[in-house]
Amino acid sequence: MKETENKPVSQAGQLMLDSLRESVAEALEKKRRLGQYAVMRQNGKPVIVGDDAPSKKR
């Protein structure tokens, strides 16, 4: 993935970013309460987190 330089975000852009962050936080909290796993990226790699996450054994 290409790195981009950090530029100031417009007010409209910041509102969209805040809304997106809030929506993602709500979705992850809902998954946690329901006991569902979630797939995220950490250090550029996909990571499965949660109590019912599939096992890594194949």
Q: What is the mean pLDDT of the chain?
A: 88
Helix/strand/coil (H/E/C) assignment for every residue in 19-52: HHHHHHHHHHHHHHHHCCCEEEEECCEEEEECCC
pTM: 0.69
The residue written with tokens 């290409």 in the block is: 2
Structural tokens at position 21: 């962050």
Instruction: State yes or no: pLDDT of 31 exceeds 70.
Output: yes
17 vs 3: which has the higher pLDDT = 17
Spatial neighbors of 16 by CB under 8 A, at least 6 apart, are none
Neighbours of 29 (CB within 10 A): 10
